[in-house]
Structure 1
Amino acid sequence: MDPKGSIDDSNCDNRLYIGNLDLRITEAALLKMFSPYGKIVSEDFLWQTRGPKRGEPRGFAFLQYSTKEEAILAKEKMHGRLACGRPLVVRLASERHALEVADSSTTKAVGEGHKLHLTGGGMGQSSRGAKIAAIKKKLKSLEEDNSMNKKQKQSDNIS
């Protein structure tokens, strides 16, 4: 941030978004995982501030490295790596903004749930409905195939 309190975009290239964090991962563990890739100058580990989950981790954090190169290296090495059984989502903070813009202009929400999770976009409900419809259609197709196979086996046994 600059002295006036607004966000300084020049540091956005050094800043990483880390998502899909297991709730057991602590700030110290996060710093330990990411410190081999460069000097971390700031860390924002986000916590629930209201409701029944108050005080629990929110499942994502931001780390800022001293250089853009360190941030890119950390992103390349850590994106998709398992931590407590969950694949980490690691992106430059500036890429997160780019995903929000892309999500608002695209209609292919099915199969892109990770982007919807990052943005909290309004397309989540229609995407969920489309996914449920596709699953139901697939199940119906499998059931029809299964019943046809049973009929075929019965006719083969009779012959």
Structure 2
Amino acid sequence: MDPNDDRGESRLYIGNLDLRITEAALLKMFSPYGKIISEDFLWHTRGPKRGEPRGFAFIQYSTKEEAELAKEKMHGRLACGRPLFVRLAGEKFMLETADNSTKAAGEGHKMHLTGGGGAMGQTSRHAKIAAIKNKLKSLEEESSRSKKQKRSDNIS
């Protein structure tokens, strides 16, 4: 068995982290489930958000069993009001490869829509993020419009 596969099975991806969650808080939340041997807390390295958390991290446990226990206990748990998204780091790779082989087999014509190639999972994730940002922006604009509306109602 490939040692890299092993590492993926004991490594967790943790997403949907509230930006107020610190590295220390994350480690404290996940340490009850096993021995954490490494942790990657991702930060923006450039742009206007440089130095701010990116909202996801990876935690490496010493065994696959510890990682699976942590995944089972922590996936969907609320942290700062947001449900955590926890999965084995290797799962994403397996899903993307399965997705790519299906697309290549009979749906090549659709690949242009998603960007095709090996970055398909990445592209759809970016598309989802963009959609969420647009939704938030429209909600904020709607909120500010309704506040202005209320102010003008009070004036007349």
**TM-score under structure 2 normalisation?**
0.64
Offset at 1:102? 4.2
Is there any run of 5+ residues in structure 2 with no aligned partner, and where? 108-120, 136-156
How far, CA to CA, are the matches of 2:40 and 2:47 in structure 1?
21
Higher helix share: 2
CA contact (8 A) 1:14 1:64 kept: yes
Q: TM (normalized to structure 1)?
A: 0.62
1:96, distance to aligned residue in structure 2 (A): 1.3
Question: Within the alignment, does 1:120 sit opposite 2:116 as a pair?
Answer: no
Amino acid at match of 2:123: G
Picking from 54, 60, 64, the partner of 1:58 is 54
Summarize the Cα distance change of 1:103–1:85 in structure 2 as closer, same or farther, 3 Å threshold: farther
What code does the residue aligned with 1:90 have?
V
Matched, 1:91 2:84: no
Whose Rg is larger? 1
In structure 2, do the counterparts of structure 1 residues 74 and 54 end up closer, same or farther at CA, with 3 Å as the change threshold? same
Cα distance between partner residues in 2 of 1:122 and 1:79 = 22
1:20 and 2:16 correspond = yes
Which consecutive unaligned segments of at least 5 residues does structure 1 have? 1-6, 108-118, 133-159
Superposition RMSD on alpha carbons, in Å? Answer: 2.4
Q: How much identity, in percent, do the aligned residues show?
A: 73
Which residue of structure 1 lines up, in the alignment, with residue 39 of structure 2? 43
- 2:4 matched to which residue of 1? 8
Deviation, structure 1 residue 100 = 2.0
Deviation sequence 1:69-89 (CA, Å, 0-9, x none): 000000000000001111100
How many pairs align? 110
Partner residue, 1:116: none
Residue 67 of structure 1: aligned partner? 63
Alignment check: 8 A CA contact 1:22 1:84 kept: yes
**Which aligned runs of 4 or more in structure 1 are off by greater than 4 angstroms?**
none
